[in-house]
Homo-oligomer: A and B are copies of this chain.
């Protein structure tokens, strides 16, 4: 599968296509036109045709897209047709939320282990996954083929743990710590910065409030 030629913007939209196609499949829909998909996804039909044309035209004029085929092909492109072994560093609420999310497993992300430094958590089992002592990390990674590490620990601890993960051969970090990790070029980091998301929401709420006040002031004057 050639990845290089597909733009970042298109790639970033694929998971959403994948989700909608999955829902269509669940509803027993076999074919869908770009127009119908456009109505569902609230994206223009031409955007959809452009995006999906990147993969060599799954659609046929006047006939629509084959939902299952498209779903399968996008899964291949995203690499979720393969199995990814995942560990979670940080077994607090957020780490446990991830471990408990069955949907990840359905998409091939299998949680193989959880690690923490809190003696009260070590030894507990979350959805069949044992919480281990963080000092067992390197030993575990030697014995298990793990591709992805989720980092759900405070930002003060994250850089040191990221270094250990990189040294132990981890090539992908799903980072929930509120800091930017410095890693070698061949390691990918996907950030989930919840504070930043909340600030964007705050900005949008405040903008809307300000506009409403302006409208009100205009009417009153």
Contact = CB atoms under 8 A, between A and B. Distances in A.
A197 interface: yes
A195 to B, nearest CB: 6
Q: How many copies does the complex hold?
A: 2
A144 interface: no
Contacts of A42: 180
A37 interface: no
Interface in A10-43: 11-12, 14-16, 18-19, 41-42
Interface in A58-111: 77-80, 82, 84, 92-94, 96-98, 100-101, 103-104, 107-109
12 contacts: A15-B195, A15-B200, A19-B193, A19-B195, A41-B180, A78-B199, A79-B202, A79-B207, A107-B199, A148-B202, A174-B198, A192-B197
Interface of A: 1, 3-4, 11-12, 14-16, 18-19, 41-42, 77-80, 82, 84, 92-94, 96-98, 100-101, 103-104, 107-109, 147-148, 171-172, 174, 178, 180, 186, 188, 190, 192-212
